[in-house]
């Protein structure tokens, strides 16, 4: 029972974090305006300010796509039993639980890094 409680507590924490990030991004996008505020007049040309706002809008939208992909990947891996499967396969390398945890975290980091590198490569190779 305790393992199930920890499982759903942690999963709920990650889901709430994802929802909070999307909410904050929504608030950021809502506050963007191409109009130069009076406080910036004389310091920043209106064209440059509009370009900065467009860059911020694109960066936030890409971040939303990235966050959604990361959360869905985590949810599928987690709910499909990926962590327990990976733990069972890596547990025989070390007898100490802390070393097993480090190995698991390192393997997941490498796996995620390779997956992101493949995605970036595929996106850049498109015409």
Of 17 and 83, the one with more pLDDT: 17
pLDDT at 35 over 60: yes
The predicted structure's pLDDT at residue 16: 95
Domain segments of the chain as ranges: 1-65, 81-127
The predicted structure's pLDDT at residue 1: 43
The predicted structure's pLDDT at residue 61: 92
pLDDT, average across residues 42-62: 90
Three-class secondary structure assignment of 67-113: HHHHHHHHHHHHHCCHHHHHHHHHCCCCCCHHHHHHHHHHHHHHHHH
pLDDT at 69 over 80: yes
């Amino acid at each position: 029972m305790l393992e199930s409680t920890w499982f759903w507590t942690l999963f709920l924490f990650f889901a709430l974090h994802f929802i909070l990030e999307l909410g904050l991004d929504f608030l950021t996008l809502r506050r963007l305006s191409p109009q130069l505020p009076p406080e910036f007049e004389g310091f920043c040309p209106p064209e440059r300010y509009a370009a900065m706002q467009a860059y911020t809008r694109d960066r936030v939208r890409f971040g939303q796509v990235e966050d959604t992909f990361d959360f869905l990947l985590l949810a599928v891996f987690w709910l499909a039993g990926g962590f327990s499967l990976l733990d069972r396969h890596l547990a025989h390398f070390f007898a100490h639980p802390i070393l097993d945890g480090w190995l698991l975290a390192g393997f997941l980091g490498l796996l995620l890094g390779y997956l992101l590198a493949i995605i970036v490569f595929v996106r850049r190779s498109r015409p």
